[in-house]
Structure 1
Amino acid sequence: MTTKETQEAFQWTNVWNQWFATIAANLVMLGHGCIMGWVSPAIPRLTSDHTPLSSGPLSNEQVSWIGSINCIGALIGALSFGYITNLMGSKRSILFLTLPSIVFWLLIEFGNTYYHILIARFVGGWAGGGMQTSLILYVSEIANDNIRGRLGGLLLFLRNIGVLIAYILGAVVDYEYIPYVCVVIPFGFVIIFATLPNTPQFYIAKGDMNKAEYSVKCYKGYQGESRAEDDALYKEYEKLKTMANESKTEEKLQLSDFCNCLNLKLQILSIYPLYQVFQWYRNRADNSQITAAFTIISYAVTVFEKAGTSINPYASSIVLAVALILGSLATTYLADRLGRKLLNLISLMGSAIGLFATSLYHYLYMNGIDLSALAWMPVINISLVIFISSAGIMPLTFICSVENLPKKIRTFGMAIISFSISVVAFASVKFFPILVEELNLYGCLMIYGIGSLVGFVFILLFLDDTSGKSLDNVGAKEKTDIACNYV
């Protein structure tokens, strides 16, 4: 067998370090899930006569701002961390995310007015916006092509576990003691994650070849047990150096780079507006959020109360948190096996079915039809929407985006996408009560179901499946496509 054949035949199978690094990095997202989930059990206490705030119980207007201000923070976080990640590298920017996470819990514990809570929510949103940009880039840079989808799915999995932890703490721990428990997570994250090297791409860009080589060996699980492994390591290292050299010779980032990308890669246009539509309905229908729509989990109780189910709405919201976890866990198994496109399609169609069914149930309930025998239906349907969206469209939005964006604009492109999603999320959170009042719950769910079907068509027509493909191929294909336009 020739050296070339040996290189082609070799597969990196010792991926333990990649799994460990991804889980370690996403511990900061676990902590952020607690920040997201904190609001659901906290709002009833803050609006009651027994509120711990010296400014008195929160009004409905104040609650709406607490529910949406974090989306504004996410706008700023997405853009600022796009710059920070480009400057410091993904690892250091992720470590920096612990600062706003800790500040959030300090404000919650020691703040005693509405404005303290408002600032805390803004800071938490800022951290969430940064996580969208930094974490997915870090994982994409260290992961093997054949497991990148599974590793990317861990982001939402650990975030959703954090949400469930916050729900449980809110039920069994006094309001004043919750911050003491949750602040342990970011501190533990720093201790574990700080021991890992930065990504090979970061070290090569900085010209530190020794650390770059060590990083490649670390994340590829190099053991030095065969000639084939040595050849594969050399090939990987040379590929990264070539990419770095090409980046240096490229012109500075220009607006035309984004225009070319959007014109030539219609799948980015498709998944992004589709996500906006999906985000708009999901924030109300099932109250799960992806990084920009953090606080709408609290609306789960409202939705179940309005839906007419006899099941305790607080218990139902716990069921939704479990569905979130199971869905994101399914992503780690299905993302690379079914492929990005098929899983997106299944996710959107399943969400549409669940939303239409819940809309019909609520319409019949509002018109006096006895549905006591079907009291379980809203919980099951909305849990289905939660599960199937968290298994598909929610995590794959960011995974597909980073896989389709060329390397030159990948960091800032992800920041722009995160920023835009946060804009839509803020509007949907802030104006939720008005929308329900105008259209009723069944009308909202019907529109959101139609939005899912529209997204299904977008994905079907425009999204290329990037499962198992190297991120390097994106840049190569981009250059080829641009060249074809000038022939």
Structure 2
Amino acid sequence: MKRTQFPAGQSISSSSCSEQRTKFLNIINLSHGAALGWVSPFLPLLQSEDSPLHTGPVTTEQGSWIGSILCLGGLFGAIIYGYLCEKIGVKKSIFCLVIPNMSFWITVYFSTSVYHLYVARIFAGMAGGGIIVTFPLYVADISDSKIRGAIGSLLGLSGNLGILLMYIVGDFLSYRTVPIVLSCIPVLFMISMSFIPETPQSLLKAQNISQAKQSFMFYNGIKRDEKQMAASQQEFEKLKAFILDSKENTQKLVVSDFTTPTARKAIFIGIFLMFLNQFCGVFAILTYAVSVFSESGSMISPGASAIIMGSIQIVGILASFVLVDLAGRKRLLLVSTFGTGLGLSCLGVYSWLRTQNADIEGFDWVPIVSLSGTVLLFCVGLCNIPFFVLPEILPAKICNAGNVISMISITIFAFISLKILPILLEVIHLYGAVAIFASTCFLGVIIIALFIPETKGKNLIAPESV
């Protein structure tokens, strides 16, 4: 079904209202970020003789499954929540994210074998798959084109804060205490979202006109003021006419919709950006941060190094929040991708020299500095931009389908990168692994420069040319 947006120049919400209304989404994204970061502090414990599992220490192979099986859950989550958005609406679908997220924390708490952790990570993945499908749709429904990038970065910020939160609590709290503490977050989200209405677009598609009008007023921050009410009525009627007309004229998707030059290029760009987002290696490094720092020979303890790197993430996301709607998507992607590759190259050279027993005394600060710089530059652009560029380049008719295709592709790419990193660290060491990731980044710079258009401020009603 075609994704419908408010006509160009007629924003359904002001910047301040849009940012206020998305703050509740950040709560569940914070919890999901913590679930993503859970592997970093606890996988070394699970692999040690002090493993809390009754089945004993986790092997390298099992550890790679704990890290990567999350992506299989993400695949199911993307499909399930894509379907739910069409059937029950965007807001209700987001509300349902509580189920897999809470299930992750509960399963971790009661886990006694590695197989329980596999199940827990599948739940975490389902929540993540739901987030990457539902959040862009929600943001597109309630925000103006001028601030879509900023709101997308804000959502990325909450996820990275969740990862940092896990690095911190994982370094101080016990294995069983962490899920008890962090399960409070999805409960808070559930309470908060109970007071948020469905988006006006979803309600109009369901023919709930009166509720859609109330929702429209809520998301615009319109009070019971006579002058405001009169002005909003006119805007609401335009939105209603546009949505209902779009619904009546919606045609079924056919294969030919995906074979036009514009559609083929947009789908290629979407899938490639998802590939680059994962095979630059940063997500895998963040997932196994403590193990990576143990391998790197950092001068700081692995746990403290992970916390420092997690803090740098936040700086990068804040920079993205400021720059993404000022500098433009393409420029930030180029800078971010090249900088990520350069930072990984520095780490790889240091790691290789260390294995060759070269004289690198006094340079043990290189791992933490190079990885922190890598994460900083990744977060400035490559972390978030691919996700909200998608609706800006996909033709309107295949926007939903193209979005789902790209989201499914990123779960596959994430699964591969997370599955192979622990094995690569054991077989070709850290320098070999980061060499692969850095090469991917430098290839990405060339493709971005040649094929990816600038979409800053682009109208989502007719993204028919890329």
TM-score (norm 1): 0.87
- How far has the Cα of 1:225 moved from its partner? 6.8
Trace 1:432-443 onto structure 2 (pairs within 5 A): 432-443=421-432
Q: 1:146 to 1:423 in 2, by over 3 A?
A: same
Q: 1:9 to 1:320 in 2, by over 3 A?
A: closer
Trace 1:324-403 onto structure 2 (pairs within 5 A): 324-403=313-392
Q: 1:331 to 1:225 in 2, by over 3 A?
A: farther
User: Equivalent residue for 1:272?
Assistant: 271
Q: 1:18 & 1:120 partners in 2: Cα distance?
A: 33
Do 1:355 and 1:382's aligned partners in 2 also have CA atoms closer than 8 Å? Answer: yes
- Structure 1 window deviating more from structure 2 (460-469 vs 186-195): it is 460-469
Do 1:15 and 1:221's aligned partners in 2 also have CA atoms closer than 8 Å? Answer: no
- How far has the Cα of 1:347 moved from its partner? 0.7
Letter in 2 for 1:429: L
User: Equivalent residue for 1:465?
Assistant: 454
* RMSD across aligned positions (CA): 2.6
Q: For residues 419-475 of structure 1, what are the alpha-carbon distances to aligned partners after superposition, in whole Å with 9 as ceiling and x for unaligned? A: 11111111122122443455443233233222212212222222222222332132x
Q: For residues 378-418 of structure 1, what are the alpha-carbon distances to aligned partners after superposition, in whole Å with 9 as ceiling and x for unaligned? A: 21111111111112011111010122223433333222211
Q: For residues 43-75 of structure 1, what are the alpha-carbon distances to aligned partners after superposition, in whole Å with 9 as ceiling and x for unaligned? A: 233233333222222222221211111111111
User: Equivalent residue for 1:137?
Assistant: 137
Q: For residues 94-117 of structure 1, what are the alpha-carbon distances to aligned partners after superposition, in whole Å with 9 as ceiling and x for unaligned? A: 101101111111111123222211
- How far has the Cα of 1:276 moved from its partner? 0.8
Q: 1:347 & 1:236 partners in 2: Cα distance?
A: 40
- How far has the Cα of 1:183 moved from its partner? 0.8
User: Equivalent residue for 1:220?
Assistant: 220
Q: 2:13 & 2:22 partners in 1: Cα distance?
A: 16
Trace 1:142-157 onto structure 2 (pairs within 5 A): 142-157=142-157
User: Equivalent residue for 2:4?
Assistant: none
Q: 2:323 & 2:104 partners in 1: Cα distance?
A: 34
Describe the SS at the equivalent of 2:144: coil
User: In the alignment, is residue 424 of structure 1 matched against residue 423 of structure 2?
Assistant: no
Describe the SS at the equivalent of 2:93: helix
Q: 1:472 & 1:190 partners in 2: Cα distance?
A: 32
Do 2:280 and 2:341's aligned partners in 1 also have CA atoms closer than 8 Å? Answer: no
Q: 1:214 to 1:467 in 2, by over 3 A?
A: farther
Do 1:160 and 1:325's aligned partners in 2 also have CA atoms closer than 8 Å? Answer: yes
- How far has the Cα of 1:16 moved from its partner? 3.2
Q: 2:390 & 2:344 partners in 1: Cα distance?
A: 26
Q: 1:8 & 1:166 partners in 2: Cα distance?
A: 41
Q: 1:447 to 1:46 in 2, by over 3 A?
A: closer
Q: 1:192 to 1:433 in 2, by over 3 A?
A: closer
User: Equivalent residue for 1:26?
Assistant: 26
Q: What percentage of aligned pairs have identical amino acids?
A: 33
- Structure 1 window deviating more from structure 2 (382-391 vs 322-331): it is 322-331
Q: 1:279 & 1:240 partners in 2: Cα distance?
A: 39
Do 1:85 and 1:411's aligned partners in 2 also have CA atoms closer than 8 Å? Answer: no
User: Equivalent residue for 1:4?
Assistant: none
User: Equivalent residue for 2:90?
Assistant: 90
Describe the SS at the equivalent of 1:411: helix
Which structure dedicates a bigger proportion of its chain to helix? Answer: 1
Residue ranges of structure 1 left out of the alignment (5+ in a row)? 1-6, 482-487
Letter in 1 for 2:415: F
Do 2:108 and 2:116's aligned partners in 1 also have CA atoms closer than 8 Å? Answer: yes
Q: 1:242 & 1:8 partners in 2: Cα distance?
A: 11
- Structure 1 window deviating more from structure 2 (122-131 vs 110-119): it is 110-119
User: In the alignment, is residue 241 of structure 1 matched against residue 241 of structure 2?
Assistant: yes
Trace 1:50-69 onto structure 2 (pairs within 5 A): 50-69=50-69
TM-score (norm 2): 0.91
Q: 2:344 & 2:255 partners in 1: Cα distance?
A: 39
- Structure 1 window deviating more from structure 2 (13-22 vs 455-464): it is 13-22
